Structure formats: C-alpha cells, structure tokens
Amino acid sequence: MGGGQSIAGNPGADNRAEAYFAGGCFWCIEADFEKIDGVIEAVSGYSGGDTPDPTYEQVSKGETGHRETVKVIYDPKKISYKELVENFWNMTDPTDAGGSFGDRGHQYTSAIYYQTEKEKEIATQSKQEIQESGKFDKPVDTSIEPLKDFYQAEEYHQDYYKKNKISYKTYRYFSGRDSFIQDHRQVADKDNQKKEEQDMDNPEQNYTIPEKEELKEILTPLQYKVTQKEGTEPAFENKYWDNQRPGIYVDIVSGEPLFSSLDKFKSGTGWPSFTKPLEPQNIVEKDDWTLGGVRTEVRSKHADSHLGHVFEDGPPPSKMRYCINSAALKFIPKEELQEKGYTEYLSLFQ
C-alpha cells in the first residue's frame, strides 16, 4: 500500500501551519526544510495526481500524475509562508521543465501547491521576483497549483537523510543538486545572518582569529598543517588521545569551546574521541570526498579550523564518534576554567 490518507486543507491552529512544495527528490527537500528555524517537521509524500493512495513504485514510474512533494509543518509566529517560499528557491532548479537533476519525468518537476488565495498570491509574486532577480539564466518553470491532496510516502522515505546518511549524501552529491545550489545561491540564510549579528553584539562570542602568516608563527608546524591544511596527526602519538583529566577542549586558534571531557571515551583509534560537542553551535560539518567516498568533516565555526571527522560507530545513545586531532585542540583543566575565562563551564564538574 502507499501512504494512506489523503491530506489537504487550510493551515491548522496552535501555531502550526502547513505548506506544500515539490522540488524533485523529496529526501533532499525534506532535509533542507527541516534545517530551517521555525519549521517543526517536513513529511515526504505525493501530490497533484489522480490515483488514490499511490505507491512509490507507481509515482516513480510516472503512472499516477503525482509529484514527489513535501508537506512542511511550521510555526507561523517564527517563520512566514513568504519566507518558506523564498527558501524553496534555494533547494532545487526551478528552471528544469523535465525533472530535477538526475531524476527525470513530471513526477520530479517543481511545484508550489497553495491552499488559499493568499498563498497563491505570495507564491506568484515570489516567482516573479526570483525570475526578475537574474539568479537563473533560464525562465522559472515551477508550477503554482491548488493543493488537491497529499498522500504520505512510505515510512522508509521519511527522514531518509537521517537514517541513511552515507547513501543520502552520495546521491545528493552525484545528482548535481549541491553544486547547482552552491553556484546559484543568492538569498541569504536569514537565521545565520541573525546569528552572526547577535554574535557581533555579544563580546563574549567574538573570537580573534590571527592572519595566516601570524598563525605560522603562533602554531607548531603540525598544528598549522592540521588546522589550516586539513592534515592528520599520527594515531597514539598525540597530546590528548589518552588524556583523562576533567576539563574542556577549545579550538587551538580561537579558543572557542568545542568538547568536554565528560563526553570523551576510549575509542581505540589513537585520537581523542567524543560522543557529542560541548557547544554544537561552534561545530560545522561538511562533506569530505578526498578519499573517494563521502566522510563528514568537522570544523570549528569561528576559526574555521579543520578538527577531524565524525562517524556513526560510537557508543550509545548517540552512536556518534567525533574523531578529533589533538593538534587542533587546547585543553583547559577544570581547575583553570575560571582563570582562563571559561567560568560558565565550572558547574559541569561539580
């Protein structure tokens, strides 16, 4: 059986509203929407066809007239419908009339399904603005249609990017979606922009980053190679792989807090390993294809130092292993936290 009940209608109450977008592979559209502040959940499914309760096999073969569609459940007090539409233009190629990147056929073309005349007006105006902006060198072909139905896709399609990280990233990379988005992205991520403005207003969140030439004088050759050239230090022959003292680990360049000894564990790899970051907002994850397959690189946000990689073979409950180079870190023992300006973390060790 397919997704079950057909769902359509106006936005709900209790600060929850719904919006519907088709932009090719629903794994990718779902993943991108769920990263936006104000989005509660994104659900993969099928819209726009005539066959009741379609299956993925039917839709993927173009037998039903449906498109792969994502239902976006959001909080209208945190993000507007207009902002969702603006974000949507950054998720796909709206000029492709024949499909979406490697996926061809009507079922993979782009569309915005509106529920009200107001949504139709917003979507139509936004489409006109994006066309006139010059962001794309071809006409925007995204269809704007009334929502007739929405059938939730099979369970294995939901949160595919979380359940199958490697295959998802591999598909997304080789489909050409990421390179296209990178080349055409012009609309700023408003959440990141606000965060950067907040950081500028908060002196405690400002970090002084020396110039490259100065870093060569400050850092050891190994520290420079690791943090600035994406190098890797020798296993079992580094400063912190077996360090068991309580305290926190900060970026060697900026001093931004990264990891805690409370989350450190013996992985047997010969490098410091952690189950989670101390400050997730100071960690940036990027796809790394340098060894022929995809890995997830870990970098610091403010210094942009290469730290190491994260893997999904750690201990429960997170099952994550942040494998970090000692050369990218500076250890602050708990007895020095106040002296070094990290008083807020003292409570972790009491």
Residues 17, 19, 22, 25: which is the catalytic one? 25
Residues 147, 303, 323, 328: which is the catalytic one? 323
Crossing angle between the packed helical segments 165-175 and 177-184, to the nearest 10 degrees: 60
Bridge partner list, 283:
300
d(CA 239, CA 329) in angstroms, rounded, equals 9
Look at phi and psi of residue 67 and say left if phi exceeds 0, alpha if psi is from -120 to 50, else beta. beta
Q: Helix and strand tally (H, E) in the chain?
A: 10, 17
Bridge partner list, 247:
333
SS3 call for 137: coil
Residue 28 is a catalytic residue: no
DSSP state of 97: S
Contacts (Cβ under 8 Å, ≥6 apart) of 129: none
Length in residues, the chain: 350
Residues catalogued as catalytic? 25, 323
